[in-house]
Amino acid sequence: MGQSTKRPVWSLAGDSQPLRLLAITLLIFVGFSLVLGDKFFSIRNLQSMAVQFPEFGILAFAIMITMLTGGIDLSIVGTANLSAIAAALLLTRLSGEGGAGVALELSIPLAMVAALAVASACGLLNGLLVARAGITPILATLGTSSLYTGLSYVITGGPAITTTQLAFIGNGAVAGVPIPVIVFVVLAVVFAVLLNRTAFGFNVYMLGTNLRAALFSGIDDVKVLMRAYWLAGVIAGIAGIIFLARVNSAKPEYGSSFILLTVLIAILGGIRYTGGFGTVAGLVLSVLTIQFLSTGLNMLMLELSGSSAAIFFRQFAWGGLLLAVMVVNDYVERRRQRAI
Amino acid sequence: MAKPIVRLAGIHKSFAGVRALQDVSVTLEEGTVHCLVGENGCGKSTLIKIIAGVYPRDSGTVEIGGTLYERLHPIDSIREGIQVIYQDFSLFPNLTVSENIALNEQLAAGRKFVNWAHVRRVAQDAISQLEVHLPLDARVDEMSVANKQLIAIAKALRQNARLIIMDEPTSALTEREIRTLFTVIGKLQRRGIAFLFVSHKLNEVLEISQSILVMRNGQVVSAGQVSEYDTARLIYEMTGQRIAENAYEFTPDPGQPALLRVRGLAVPGVLQDVSFALQAHEIVGVTGLLGSGRTELALALFGMLPMTAGDIEIDGKPAQIRSVQDAIAHGIGYVPEDRLTEGLFLEQSIGRNVVVRTIETLRGRLGLTDPLQVQRQIRDWVTSLRIKTADPDLPVKTLSGGNQQRVVVAKWLASRPHLMILNGPTVGVDIGSKNELHELIKRLARAGMGLLVISDDIPELLQTCNRILLMRNGTIVEEILPRQTNENALAAKLIED
């Protein structure tokens, strides 16, 4: 017992996943650096990777919180795009060419509030469907995903809404660190505190482990689930603002590959898809690993084939990796079970 | 002397250096009911798994049906007619009774098309051997636990069982169902089938078996004919110590309002006109057959089943209980019937299971959870309830049944309830822990808590409760005082219609 008192209560006994993942992350990084030389291991490439990963990295937190409850939110990309469209619309109408001429100091915060309000509404609708109506999360959010994306098409009529007024966020940096990275880091810290140091976080883990036992322990499942899906929506909204800031336009079908990617990140990061287990450290390492892999594989394919077919290979690689990680996790888990 | 089916000699087995079995020699003969008793962790399940071929032994000899096995595989064991019926019965809940009984062999025969007439015939044949009635076309998940068990036995018979090993077969059965099971076992036994029974219910052990094996710390410490044993000797052999329990004495304090008063409580279809009162310091037993409403009463009081009529008073004041949160706010705690699915978060740590009720209150700076307070509370409860673990960070599923139950109790005690409802508090718990849980219940009552103990374990009711309420068809039909009855009289009342 003497030793255990030093360890925080939150450390999940026997859960070596973050450490194992740290080793894998470093291995991949060092591996690509050796193979590709300074093409990969250079300030320029590091910077270019740093502006890429926050987009899907932030979305991964939305997947994480819902997965920890034992569910999933497939509507996060739809939510992000709808929020981005809301912000872009407001910005162009208020301060764009031929707009109302409102000062950017006012219209930008307003646009962000609008994006987060839309995202909140999306998240709450998911929460209602899952927690109140009791619909299986994967089906409920598959439905709302289509709903939100469809709404985006209705609003925009198809084409993207272009606005460069948030570019200072997308391309900006503070002390050399890109703003999207700062947003990602802040979210990671907030999440770590939320999950490890609040009753809500604790209840998410418990409810995700065993819903029935949670009910019998007096955990208010509706409240916890509503909050989790609402939070996922808000995070997707933040991701939507980052989308808009990075590409200077909002469109209904942006980032459609991010769903599979964020699920892959969560699984690779040790978030158990049946709920109840997973750490922020694991998720962050997983985001980095995926970015290294993405960039490294691209460069490697380009070098080997000289063509841009690499982009198609990546899709294949993500699918394969997701399946491989699940098989390995399952195997490791079963061996662990047998050891106990 | 009957022919031996299984003969083990000098079996040793260790897991990662921990000795699970030490020099175990066992002979199981045909047509005999053998009972294997011992506290949790004494090596019973390891022994069963060696006989079933699931674990290889480290040393010793295994002889089954006259053949010596160098390495016994599960398939060898099954071919020799050894069938293990685990507590979950390993049935397919979504298939029908006949499919469960007969589909196995159709698959094993490599048939691509199922001959349904044959399936039904085979299943009917197996069931009629048991001389019971089971609906062949009903889905298994619609069957009671007792019927599922009979289906598992019928399935075992179809696989030419010569030795049927049953793990805690009576723990989820009512008195009457236990009678049926025992009759079936008796019939099969006369046909030469051997049984190995693992049970914690000692009076049943003494009733059904002819031969007894007692294990302690990985060794067979005592073995012999049932006539050589009584309950006291069994407990002594299992624990290595003499345990005696005293009944709980309660003197009512007329000045106090009842801690809980229930009047005319009803839940459509399950409860009607239930009225009773419970004082502080009281331990009131609630008993009845499965389906008598005993669990539903607990669920209604805990806010899980909405009541349509009736008044509840707590400490003399009217109380509305519409949700679990309401019940908790009124100081009610509930230790559920099914520890594994309702009481515990099995995969989570012991510590997290202990603080799940109180995590909101263990806050420090900025309103954030304070790890030090959390640690302290976990340590306090692990110590005071003597939860045996190397490390509270381990998953709660690593604990034995008795220790798991203590975790569930600790979870509730941490939130300081005034009234605890315990549903089957010692089901699947070994004798030593059972005794300690009973002492704990009495200690809590002496300290001023009111306790409602739901149980069909008659000795348990008589030893811990100062009053027993008998339920039948959703209502309380009789109040019984332990000192005015005995085990047999109460057992008879339980099953009478």
Same domain, B484 and B430: yes
pLDDT at A332 over 50: yes
Which segments in chain B show pLDDT lower than 70?
A: 1, 108, 110, 241-245, 497
Q: How far apart are CA B382 and CA B374, in angstroms?
A: 12
Beta bridge partners of B29: B4
Residue B478: strand, helix, or coil: strand
Measure in Å the smallest separation between the Cα of A276 and chain B Cα atoms: 8
- Identify the H or E element spanning B20: strand B18-29
Helix residue ranges per DSSP H, B258-370: 294-301, 324-329, 350-355
- Contact: A209, B345; criterion CB under 8 Å: yes
Q: Contact B379/B360 with Cβ under 8 angstroms?
A: no
Average confidence score pLDDT of chain B: 88
The residue that leads in pLDDT, A330 or B394, is B394
Confidence (pTM): 0.77
DSSP class of residue B289 equals -
Same domain, B290 and B223: no
User: B334 to chain A: nearest residue by CA?
Assistant: A216
Residue whose token pair is 């689930």: A225
Beta strands B450-454 and B271-278 are: unpaired
First to last CA, chain A: 19
Residue B211: strand, helix, or coil: strand
Instruction: List pLDDT tens digits, range B443-460.
Output: 999 999 999 999 988 888
- Contact: B348, A205; criterion CB under 8 Å: yes
- B346 contact residues in A (CB cutoff 8 A): 209-210
User: A14 to chain B: nearest residue by CA?
Assistant: B394
Instruction: List pLDDT tens digits, range A211-225.
Output: 999 999 999 999 999
Least CB-CB distance to A193: which of B351, B368, B379? B368
Instruction: List pLDDT tens digits, range A99-125.
Output: 777 888 889 999 999 999 999 999 999
- Domain membership of residue B391 (yes or no) is yes
- Contact: B356, A14; criterion CB under 8 Å: no
Same domain, B233 and B268: no
DSSP class of residue B493 equals H
Beta strands B309-314 and B194-198 are: unpaired
Least CB-CB distance to A11: which of B346, B360, B393? B393
Final residue of a structural domain among B171, B204, B239: B239
Q: pLDDT over 70 for what percent of chain A?
A: 91
- Domain membership of residue B248 (yes or no) is no
Instruction: List pLDDT tens digits, range B217-231.
Output: 888 998 999 888 888
Which pLDDT belongs to residue A3? 36
CB contact A222 to B (< 8 Å): no
Domain boundaries, chain A: 53-257+271-279
- Domain membership of residue B255 (yes or no) is no
- Contact: B341, A210; criterion CB under 8 Å: yes
The phi and psi torsions of B273 (rounded to 5 degrees) equal 50, 55
Measure in Å the smallest separation between the Cα of B437 and chain A Cα atoms: 20
Residue B143: strand, helix, or coil: coil
Which pLDDT belongs to residue A308? 60
- Contact: A4, B374; criterion CB under 8 Å: no
**Can you tell me the mean pLDDT for A273-298?**
92
Same domain, B211 and B281: no
User: A195 to chain B: nearest residue by CA?
Assistant: B369
Same domain, B431 and B282: yes
Count A/B contacts: CB-CB distance under 8 Å: 95
pLDDT at A291 over 50: yes
Same domain, B235 and B285: no
- Domain membership of residue B351 (yes or no) is yes
- Domain membership of residue B296 (yes or no) is yes
Could you tell me which of B8, B91, B99, B88 has the C-alpha nearest to residue B49? B8
- Contact: A202, B344; criterion CB under 8 Å: no
CB half-sphere exposure, A327, CA atoms < 13 A: 6
Beta strands A177-178 and A173-174 are: antiparallel
Buried b (16+ CB within 10 A) or exposed e, A124-134: bbbbbbbbeee
What does the longest C-alpha to C-alpha distance in chain B come to? 76
Q: How far apart are CA B361 and CA B109, in angstroms?
A: 61
Least CB-CB distance to A202: which of B325, B359, B378? B359
**Can you tell me the mean pLDDT for A55-72?**
96
Same domain, B170 and B310: no
Which CATH number is B421's domain given?
3.40.50.300
Which pLDDT belongs to residue A11? 39
* Structural domains counted in chain B: 2
Give me B355's structure tokens: 């603080």
Which pLDDT belongs to residue B422? 96
Buried b (16+ CB within 10 A) or exposed e, B125-144: ebbebbebebebeeebeebe
Same domain, B183 and B320: no
Which pLDDT belongs to residue B1? 53
Q: Contact A63/A79 with Cβ under 8 angstroms?
A: no
Measure in Å the smallest separation between the Cα of A217 and chain B Cα atoms: 6
Q: How far apart are CA A314 and CA A331, in angstroms?
A: 25
User: B341 to chain A: nearest residue by CA?
Assistant: A213
User: B361 to chain A: nearest residue by CA?
Assistant: A199
Residues of B in CB contact (< 8 Å) with A are 16, 304, 324-325, 328, 334, 336, 341-349, 351-352, 355-357, 359-360, 368-369, 371, 374-375, 378-379, 390-395, 397-398, 411
Beta strands in B40-158 (DSSP E): 59-64, 67-69, 82-85
Which pLDDT belongs to residue A10? 40
Same domain, B128 and B223: yes
Which pLDDT belongs to residue A72? 97
Buried b (16+ CB within 10 A) or exposed e, A292-318: bbbbbbebbbeeeeeeeebeeebeebb
- Angle, CA of A62, A243 and A251, to the nearest 5°: 105
- B393 contact residues in A (CB cutoff 8 A): 4, 7, 9, 11-13
- Domain membership of residue B290 (yes or no) is yes
* A15 CB neighbour count, 10 Å cutoff: 16
Beta strands B260-267 and B309-314 are: antiparallel
The phi and psi torsions of B359 (rounded to 5 degrees) equal -55, -35
Rounded to two decimals, the ipTM of the complex is 0.86
Which pLDDT belongs to residue B142? 82
**Distance of CA B443 to CAs B123, B281, B453, Å?**
52, 9, 14
Same domain, B85 and B125: yes
- A203 contact residues in B (CB cutoff 8 A): 359
Which pLDDT belongs to residue A2? 35
Beta bridge partners of B263: B311
- Domain membership of residue B247 (yes or no) is no
| Residue A7: band (very low, low, confident or very high) from pLDDT cuts 50, 70, 90 | very low
Q: How far apart are CA B430 and CA B41, in angstroms?
A: 9
Which pLDDT belongs to residue B158? 85
Least CB-CB distance to B343: which of A7, A14, A213? A213
- Identify the H or E element spanning A325: helix A310-339
The phi and psi torsions of A338 (rounded to 5 degrees) equal -65, -35
CB contact A192 to B (< 8 Å): no
- B379 contact residues in A (CB cutoff 8 A): 1, 5
Give the domain range for residue B306: 260-495
CB half-sphere exposure, A249, CA atoms < 13 A: 11
Measure in Å the smallest separation between the Cα of A267 and chain B Cα atoms: 18
Measure in Å the smallest separation between the Cα of B302 and chain A Cα atoms: 9
- B328 contact residues in A (CB cutoff 8 A): 218
CB contact A218 to B (< 8 Å): yes
Instruction: List pLDDT tens digits, range B21-50.
Output: 999 999 999 999 999 998 777 888 889 999
**Distance of CA B179 to CAs A15, B290, B496, Å?**
47, 14, 13
Same domain, B419 and B455: yes
Q: Contact A70/A211 with Cβ under 8 angstroms?
A: yes
Which pLDDT belongs to residue A338? 66
Spatial neighbors of A148 by CB under 8 A, at least 6 apart, are: A75, A78, A79, A81, A82, A122
Q: Contact B412/B449 with Cβ under 8 angstroms?
A: no
Beta bridge partners of B419: B332, B450
Which pLDDT belongs to residue B249? 81
Measure in Å the smallest separation between the Cα of B51 and chain A Cα atoms: 19
Least CB-CB distance to A216: which of B343, B368, B394? B343
First to last CA, chain B: 43
- Domain membership of residue B250 (yes or no) is no
Same domain, B195 and B344: no
- Contact: A13, B347; criterion CB under 8 Å: no
Which pLDDT belongs to residue A289? 92
- Angle, CA of B330, B336 and B342, to the nearest 5°: 110
**Can you tell me the mean pLDDT for A153-172?**
88
